[in-house]
Structure 1
Amino acid sequence: MEDFIYEKDADGIVTVTMDMQGQGANTMNARFEPGMRDLCDKLEAEEGLTGVVFASAKSTFFAGGDLKDILATMEAGQREFELIENSKATYRRLEKLPVPVVAAINGAALGGGYELCLSCNHRVVVDDPKAIVGLPEVTLGLLPGAGGVVRMTAKLGLETALPLLLEGRQVKPQEALKIGMVDEIVATRDDLIPAAKAWIKANPDAHTQPWDQKGFRYPGGDALHPRIRQTMIGASAMLYQKTRGLLPAPEKILDVAVTSMKMNFDAALRMETRRFIGLMASKESKAAISTFFFGMNAIKSGKVRPEGDRWKATSAAVLGAGMMGSGIAYAHAKRGLKTRLKDTEMANAEKGKGYSEKLCDKAIGRGRMDEDAKNALLSQIEPATENAAPGSVDIIIEAVFEDIDLKDKVIADTWPMLSEDGIYGSNTSTLPISILAESCPEPERFIGLHFFSPVDKMKVVEIIMGEKTSQDTLRKAYDYVQQIGYMPIVVNDSRGFFTSRVFGTFMDEGCQLLVDGMKPSAIERAAWLAGMPVGPLQVFDEVSLILSQKVRKTHEALDKRLGVESNFGHHNTATTAVTDPMIEMGRGGRQYGGGFYDYDGEGNRTLWDGLGQFAKGNADISVEDAIDRILYRQAIETLRCLDEGVLMTEVEANLGGIMAIGFPHHTGGAIQFIKGEGIDRFKARAKELADKYGDRFAVPDAMYDRLRETEAKAA
């Protein structure tokens, strides 16, 4: 019991303070179950026991299961079943004690930690926004396996419990009290144990859980109640619409929650264990844990950030008040970064500020902002047509049109605004940073900062290192991106960098399928089934066919200027074959009145009936092939970027692909997708696709060998 401090007071109340040795948080490590078993033995034998309080010596209450152990599980069988059942048995013993048990929640109680709280008779939490409670297992491809699904459903009822379980939402104290996830709030941490003991003294007989009492009824109605049956049916349909059947965890959570209402409580707990075991070794769980827990934490904690002191910008300038520039200015203002929004015409600059006003008004309409907060945000944006005073701006973001000559001129004209310690970023999506840096007096202070549209929703920035960009500039850029609440993904300079290269392959594969003779509606459906947010033809319309053509021609002109052949997008042959004729027909995309789709006055869209003319073949392409072509094409291009050194880490490849491009969430990202499929299986399938559809799917063996090496090192 070295991890549990056991103290009994004069009133017979035992306070158990959890303090897992050698780690910063309390978790269900290998010592947890034996320690809890010993603790239960001691409590059950304790003479004169009147109550139990669970507290924590850490800054958080309890963090739940050890994800490294789960990630290392290749197969889950009888051994894992018994381990989980043994751990759950200790929670069941706690709630069978003949005295009240209270959780004194001083900080985050998540996953197994909140499941411990559910096993208590009363939950007291400190009034601190960091003292969140919840069961976020679904976000890791798992379900709450220590009784969380069964107890949450029994405590709150199906209607209230399901959204919390299926979304994995982490709830702050006041809302948790309102929902019923906690029972009492105290002002300070020092008040927790006294409040817990006071409740025990006032409720000495409150030791039987509701679900163990005779005549227990589920809040809101039992399984046969018409409203609950309607909830079950509606939840199943909504779940499929949301997950497309690609995520097993939500489906299993729904199954356990619903089925638990129809069976004995202890039998329900065992069923929950069986469903949990079925998820432990799944590729979806490994993808989620690897990418969204360990990967995300690596980014947030700065593991891929250059060493050095934290840097903070206090003033900024955004050049160009179009959609991107206006969005960046809003992102700045939302985080209190004073920003000069410069355009050639004051009307444009004012219109750019108006974009932020519209976003604020939407937030007010949804109850997420008030007028004072709106005014404070808007006061951070200063529309202008002239430069700021020389040396007065910490960070400049150039966000003008994707024209290299225009960018060269703007960069040279506005550089003097930069402070001695400042950095200059270009929001280019494809143009080489090293070439743009030639317009700078100090190219080491120039870097790419590629935002994504719409900026207020796409919370990721691709940071591009030029040949002369210094590590000091990268550190500052990294800190700036985090300062405004976005996720930084660092890449090296290359035509199209990472995101634009991979995104281009997604759109092109849609065109390739069209050329091969697949029906347009089937192409879009295949992308939906693959897990992409929208289909490639719809995406092309949103991006605009004309913009794609301009980018291609810009790079052709750049090749002539440099006397090189960059081969940028050289596999994207179908894009040229399909979109150039469409543009000549006046179909440039949604903003031009129509592209792959026709649009009516209300914004509704229908596929253009003229797309059949681009079919050069009449291939009977299976849905399976179409899905694989869409996913493998992007994964292979990501692998190329990693192999070429454009991408520096697999973590950034995975998170960047999901957050910036929309690579399917359930895969954990493109590189994780390859590993989840199995490198050898992926290689074999890619060869099949290459033999059948073209060498854009061909990958040199050396790339797979290097990926195996990194996988072996990680293991």
Structure 2
Amino acid sequence: PSKEAFPEAKTKKVGILGAGMMGQGIAFVSAAVGIEVVLLDRDQESAERGKAYSQKLWEKKVSKGRMTKEAMAEKLALIKATASFDDLAGCDLIIEAVFEDRAIKAEATKKTQAVVPKALFCSNTSTLPISGLSEASNDTKNFIGLHFFSPVDKMPLVEIIMGKDTSDEALAKAFDYVLQIKKTPIVVNDSRGFFTSRVFGTFCMEGVNMLAEGYSPLSIEQAALQAGMPIGPLGILDEVSLELTRKVRVQTEKDLAAEGKSLPFDAAAPLIEKMLNEFKRPGKKEGKGFYDYPEGGKKQIWQGLYDAFVKPEKAQPSEADFKEMQERILYRQAIESARCYEEGVLRNVPDANIGSIFGIGFAPWTGGVLQYINFIGLNEFVKRSNELAAKHGERFTPPKLLIDMAAKGETFV
């Protein structure tokens, strides 16, 4: 929508549902710019814990002389921690940041709208389609996705997701709020996992696929870093938690089954099941995932991975193999991004490039995920994708859009 169509909307009071990792971060960035915040959780203690997160971050600033104690007290006074939905009265924007579960989100939506029926309702989901979540709402036009990245105080991007009914007015208000909290917005259309989570997922799973093929975990992490990613796929999966990864996959399978579709076979899924069920290693939070996290020490790759998955002939990949591992990590993400563009999930090329670098740390040297395809050259990219597909599976098959663009000599602009 043109910015002229709607006067600039300043959010005065934001209600945040859920004071967990995401909610507390959103409360911090909102209060930091002077927005009044109502931080709601199931019990007062959890809500207070969420508020304490902001206090901790501001105390750091005070101790470094970058903020006065008075300024900190003023900012903290903007955050009201509560367990009562009634306290949401007067909020003009709501951000739902509760557990990634449809039923829990629906209940939170209904309870909120009983108090503030007219407030713009934003869901901070990272994977669940917005149009489906909006069915719990009293007004699907006034429902939008706002996908923040963790940690919220450091990550510059917010992915705004348009549901099928979301109005341009709702988009304009959400867009202004993102700018108000000093973040960079990109706008995408609704789909499962939207843009960033879908592409990020392919990065993580490609790493797990390589482990399933017998490559050493160290060389997988190294390949990702040398390709330009900020962290290896196994390390990031530990951060996210293998349990959550499984939950998202199970939910996706259910959703697809309802549409009469299924996920293509992927060696990553059984490996993650094995890590959870047989080895009981769910991730960093429990101190053991693909890595070990010794108290006070540096994380180290869990040696059990070598016995369980690594094949002797692949333990030390050749130079050609190592180059291909790097290619797989970047190509897999670029192909998924091209699919998002083909499906209309991505609305333009700059949002794809900005979103991939700021949201998921896609190799910054490339200029972004679609720019990487331009850099390789579309003909070469399609040819190499087909070679990778023949060797590693259909997930590397280039989408029709790329084949057509290559034939016409087009690039992403």
Once the two structures are superposed, the pairs formed by residues 345-360 of structure 1 within 5 Å of their partners are: 345-360=43-58
CA spacing shift, 1:426–1:701, aligned 2, 3 Å: closer
Aligned to 1:591: 285
Structure 1 pair 353/446, CA: closer, same or farther in 2 (3 Å)?
A: same
**Among residues 132, 135, 139, which one is paired with 1:442 in the alignment?**
139
SS at match of 1:447: strand
CA distance in 1, matches of 2:234, 2:2: 35
| 1:583 CA drift (Å) | 0.7
Q: Which SS does the other structure have where 1:573 is aligned?
A: coil
Aligned partner of 2:80 in structure 1 is 382
Q: 1:493 to 1:710 in 2, by over 3 A?
A: farther
How far is the alpha carbon of 1:557 from its aligned partner? 3.6
Output aligned runs, 1:254-653, within 5 Å: 307-388=5-86, 392-418=90-116, 420=118, 422-559=119-256, 563-565=258-260, 567=262, 570=263, 573-584=266-277, 585-612=279-306, 613-615=308-310, 618-619=313-314, 620=317, 622-653=321-352
**What is the distance in 2 between the residues matched to 1:396 and 1:551?**
24
User: Is residue 398–residue 426 contact of structure 1 (8 Å, CA) maintained in 2?
Assistant: yes
SS at match of 1:490: strand
CA deviations over 1:143-202 (Å, ceiling 9, x no partner): xxxxxxxxxxxxxxxxxxxxxxxxxxxxxxxxxxxxxxxxxxxxxxxxxxxxxxxxxxxx
Structure 2 residue identity aligned to 1:467: K
Residue 239 of structure 1 is matched in structure 2 by none
Distance 2:221 2:368 in 1: 20
Q: Deviations over 1:335-390 (max 9, x none)?
A: 11101000111011111000001111122233322212211211110001112467
Q: Measure, in 2, the Cα distance between the counterparts of 1:474 and 1:328.
A: 18
Distance between the aligned counterparts of 1:677 and 1:373, measured in 2?
50
1:603, distance to aligned residue in structure 2 (A): 4.2
Q: State the match for 1:668 in structure 2.
A: 367
Give, in angstroms, the shift of residue 310 of structure 1: 1.1
Q: CA 1:712–1:668 in structure 2 vs 1: closer, same or farther (change >3 Å)? A: closer
Q: How does 1:15-54 map to 2 (within 5 A)?
A: none
**Per-residue displacement from partner, 1:621-676 (whole Å, max 9, x unpaired)?**
61110100000001110111011101111111011011111101111110011101
Equivalent AA in structure 1 for residue 342 of structure 2: D
- Greater Rg over alpha carbons, structure: 1
> What is the 5 A alignment of 1:156-171?
none
Distance 1:639 1:712 in 2: 12
CA positional deviation for 1:686: 1.4
> CA distance change for structure 1 residues 536 and 316 in 2, over 3 Å: closer, same or farther?
same
State percent identity of aligned pairs: 45
TM-score by length of 2: 0.93
Distance 1:559 1:629 in 2: 26
Unaligned 5+ residue runs, structure 1?
Answer: 1-302
Q: What do the CA deviations read for 1:390-431 (whole angstroms, capped 9, x no partner)?
A: 7611100000000111111111111133364x3100011111
Deviations 1:114-154 (A, max 9, x none): xxxxxxxxxxxxxxxxxxxxxxxxxxxxxxxxxxxxxxxxx
Following superposition, the deviation at residue 592 of structure 1 comes to 1.3
Cα distance in structure 2, aligned partners of 1:713 and 1:623: 28
CA distance in 1, matches of 2:344, 2:409: 14
What letter matches 1:659 in structure 2?
Answer: F
Contact 1:507–1:540 (Cα < 8 Å) also in 2: yes
SS in 1 for 2:362: coil
Q: Secondary structure of the residue that 1:586 maps to in structure 2?
A: coil
User: Per-residue CA shift, 1:524-581, capped at 9, x if unaligned?
Assistant: 1111101100100100101110111111222334445xx21454xx357233121111
TM-score, structure 1 as length reference: 0.55
The residue type equivalent to 2:231 in the other structure is V
Ranked by relative contact order (alpha carbons within 8 Å, sequence separation 6 or more), the top structure is 2
Q: What RMSD in Å do the two structures reach over aligned CA positions?
A: 2.1
Taking a change above 3 Å as real, the CA distance of residues 419 and 316 of structure 1, as seen in their structure-2 partners, is farther
Equivalent AA in structure 1 for residue 28 of structure 2: Y
